[in-house]
Amino acid sequence: MTIRYVASSRLPTPWAVFTMHGFAEEQTGKEHVVLTLGAVGDGEPVLGRIHSECLTGDALFSLRCDCGFQLEAALQAIAEEGRGALLYVRQEGRGIGLLNKIRAYNLQDQGADTVEANERLGFAADMRDYSICIPMLEHLNIKSLRLMTNNPRKVKAMQGFGINIAERVPLQVGRNVHNAHYLATKAGKLGHMFEVPLQHHQD
């Protein structure tokens, strides 16, 4: 897949003034961004996150997932570090799209977990393609990451594409009564790694 760099600009946020880099998939027209802070192309491992778009969690404050909490925590961690990169990739609903995610939510309201809901709609549990991240990292000359994630599949995928994962940095935030089952499914069916036992979530 061809990913084309488009433009960069300043992006002031509550945590820091980032540089925002825009990229486009030529085949699909999908647009992605990378937020960077400090010098990231010097060969040293970069504190980073690959964050899949979640309109409901990132912008609409949904408590059904931990996505918005992870986005804010990652940006704050990069700001505190003074250096890092966040890739914001447009793969809503683990790759099934926004409207299909709403359909999946409806099935979850009827008792399905997130994996079962995706599969009932005819999708795999996780449809995301992390290969789209590689041209963006190459453009920024990032070869090594201290990756903020709980997802071992993400670590393995990036290593398979030749990115050195110097460290996996846990990102366990935003647990609440509404997403307890969602997080348990992540751990039980998708192998996500949680350092704090899930049953101790705070309501």
- 153 given a catalytic annotation: no
- Contacts for 187-194: CB closer than 8 Å, 24+ residues apart: 189/113, 189/115, 189/125, 190/115, 190/125, 190/126, 190/151, 190/153, 191/151, 191/152, 191/153, 192/150, 192/151, 192/152, 193/150, 193/151, 193/152, 193/168, 194/150, 194/170
Cβ atoms of 193 and 170 within 8 Å: the answer is yes
* Annotated active-site residue in 128, 129, 175, 203: 128
Catalytic option among 126, 168, 175, 203: 126
Binding-site residues for Zn(2+) sit at: 54, 65, 67
Q: What is the DSSP string of 138-201?
A: HHTT--EEEEE-S-HHHHHHHHHTT-EEEEEE-------TTTHHHHHHHHHHH----SS-GGG-
Which residues, other chains included, contact 47 with Cβ-Cβ below 8 Å and sequence gap of 6+?
77, 78, 81, 83, 84, 85, 145, 146, 148, 169
Binding residues for GTP: 49-53, 70, 92-94, 114, 149, 154
Known binding residues: 49-54, 65, 67, 70, 92-94, 114, 149, 154
Contact 84, 13 (CB under 8 A): no
Active-site positions? 126, 128
